[in-house]
Structure 1
Amino acid sequence: MKTFKLLRAALLATLASTTLLGTAYAEDALKMELTANKVVKDADGKVTYAPVSTAPAGTVIQYKANYTNTINKDINDLAVILPIPANMAFNGEATPASAQASIDGKNYADMPLMRKVDGKMVKIPYSEYRTLRWNIKLLPAKKSATVALNTIVE
Structure 2
Amino acid sequence: MKRFKILRNILLATIASSSLLNIAHAEDALEMELTANKVIKNADGKVSYAPVSTAPAGTVIQYKANYTNTINKDINDLAVILPIPANMVFNGEAMPASAQASIDGKNYADMPLMRKVDGKMVKIPYSEYRTLRWNIKLLPAKKSAAVALNTIVE
Into which bin does the TM-score normalised by the smaller protein fall?
Answer: over 0.9
Alignment match, 1:14: 15
Hey, what's the Cα distance between the residues in 2 that align with 1:36 and 1:131?
16
Please give the secondary structure, in 1, of the residue aligned with 2:11: helix
Hey, what's the Cα distance between the residues in 1 that align with 2:73 and 2:92?
34
- CA shift at 1:11, angstroms? 3.9
Structure 2: which 5+ residue stretches go unaligned? none
* TM-score relative to the length of structure 1: 0.93
Alignment match, 1:88: 88
> Are residues 15 and 3 of structure 1, via their aligned partners in 2, closer, same or farther at CA, if it must alter by over 3 Å?
farther
* TM-score relative to the length of structure 2: 0.93
Post-superposition Cα deviations, 1:62-112, rounded to whole Å, max 9, x if no partner, equal: 000000000000000000000000000000000000000000000000000
Q: Give percent identity, aligned residues only.
A: 86
Higher helix share: 2
Partners of 2:13 and 2:82 within 8 A in 1: no
- CA shift at 1:12, angstroms? 5.5
- CA shift at 1:45, angstroms? 0.8
Aligned length: 152
Alignment match, 2:40: 40
> Are residues 85 and 2 of structure 1, via their aligned partners in 2, closer, same or farther at CA, if it must alter by over 3 Å?
same
Structure 1: which 5+ residue stretches go unaligned? none
> Are residues 145 and 26 of structure 1, via their aligned partners in 2, closer, same or farther at CA, if it must alter by over 3 Å?
closer
The alignment yields a C-alpha RMSD, in angstroms, of 1.5
5-14 or 88-97, larger mean C-alpha shift:
5-14
Please give the secondary structure, in 1, of the residue aligned with 2:77: strand
Alignment of 1:43-122 (within 5 A): 43-122=43-122
What code does the residue aligned with 1:131 have?
T
